[in-house]
Amino acid sequence: MIAVVALSASAANGKEGKALLKRIKKLQKQGVMVGHQDAPVYGKTWKWEEGRSDVLETAGDYPAVMGFDLGKIELGSDKNLDGVPFDRMRKEIVAHHERGGIVTLSWHPWNIATGENSWDPSGNAVTKILAGGETGEKFAKWQQTVADFINSLKTNDGKQVPVIFRPWHEMNGGWFWWGAKSCTPEEYKTLYATTYDVLTKAGCNVVWSYSPNLYDSAPTVEDYLRWYPGDNMVDMIGIDIYDFNHDSKKYQDNLRVSLKTVEAAGRQLKKVIALTETGCRKCSEPQWYTETLLPVLKEFPLSYVLIWRNAWDQPDENFMAYPGCPNEKDFKKFHDDKITLFVKDINK
């Protein structure tokens, strides 16, 4: 009898991209990696200094995962939409890789149809991009700038640094020009496929991530996969869920209900799962980390949780603990828990 081994399709590109996916799968068995957006470039009370991180200064270690955003790279800007210089970003990505950490990239590109930012759902940008012509060509160049940046991530000895790429996130919401108010799922999938195609042809080393946003009511696996571009273009699946209004009970319910579906989808598709964006806005609850977030992290086989940024210039964009915050001690306890992995933990 011949044994037929069913291999699930994977999307990861390049030798280093594939190695990263393998590492992520292995690390998932050890615990949940803790991540922070823009960790080493600014924090609640500082900006642009080197060697700093609110997570490091609160918990004594760098996060395992660092997130960065490429928005505005497509316009040829030397800084992203939040003012982070791309040269600095590159340097920090390579440094994090060299300390054994993992990097995830998101992208908030401008609306090519209206000239406004990502949060302008008008203008039928996706339809226009897919129709080709001048807009299609211009957009292909925009995508190439992303590929070029990813390919420029190299260590001193010339080794390529792989990243988790999470394009076209929160598509089930109506706020982005690639979202539910602006295109059909079929158009969305085609848009995603063009990105996959450009980066693959450019030889980028990437692990691919799919991440819708919190649903209005409990999503079925079918709801969750409505925009899923296909097994051959996705390696990890996740969801973005925040505690915006300091309602930990509601937040926990949202997490449990949604992650149950993400977990079921992950099982079905044989994909790693993650909480791709989260955080408690301006968090003042002293036990938020150990009593609100941690219990849920223990219930699901998550690979990582990415806590969003601590913008020095926008009090509302403050999601991670920092020295002197009301839950500083609690975050330290969260760090000390066996299940949470910071950069030292994933290099043991």
Binding site for ligand BMA (CB under 6 A): 69, 71, 81-82, 108, 309, 317
Cβ proximity to ligand BMA, 36 vs 309, nearer residue: 309
Cβ proximity to ligand BMA, 71 vs 238, nearer residue: 71
CA-based nearest residue to 198, from 165, 173, 172, 225: 165
How many CA atoms, within 13 angstroms, populate the side-chain half-sphere of residue 71?
19
Cβ proximity to ligand BMA, 14 vs 71, nearer residue: 71
Cβ proximity to ligand BMA, 63 vs 71, nearer residue: 71
* CA angle 109–111–117, rounded 5-degree value: 70
Cβ proximity to ligand BMA, 17 vs 279, nearer residue: 279
Q: 240-270: b or e for each residue (b if 16 or more CB lie within 10 Å)?
A: bbbbeeeebeebbebbeebbebbbebbeebe
Cα dihedral sign, 197-201-202-207 = positive
For the CB of residue 309, give the shortest distance to ligand BMA in the complex, in Å.
Answer: 6
For the CB of residue 273, give the shortest distance to ligand BMA in the complex, in Å.
Answer: 21
For the CB of residue 269, give the shortest distance to ligand BMA in the complex, in Å.
Answer: 26
For the CB of residue 279, give the shortest distance to ligand BMA in the complex, in Å.
Answer: 10
Cα–Cα distance measured from residue 165 to residue 49, given in angstroms and rounded to the nearest whole number: 26
* CA angle 197–183–178, rounded 5-degree value: 60
Cβ proximity to ligand BMA, 84 vs 206, nearer residue: 84
Cβ proximity to ligand BMA, 81 vs 265, nearer residue: 81
CA-based nearest residue to 342, from 88, 53, 105, 93: 53
For the CB of residue 68, give the shortest distance to ligand BMA in the complex, in Å.
Answer: 9
For the CB of residue 88, give the shortest distance to ligand BMA in the complex, in Å.
Answer: 15
| Residue nearest ligand BMA (C-beta atom) | 69
For the CB of residue 79, give the shortest distance to ligand BMA in the complex, in Å.
Answer: 12
DSSP H helices in the chain: 14-28, 54-59, 86-98, 125-130, 133-151, 185-201, 221-224, 248-269, 294-297, 328-336
* CA angle 17–23–24, rounded 5-degree value: 90
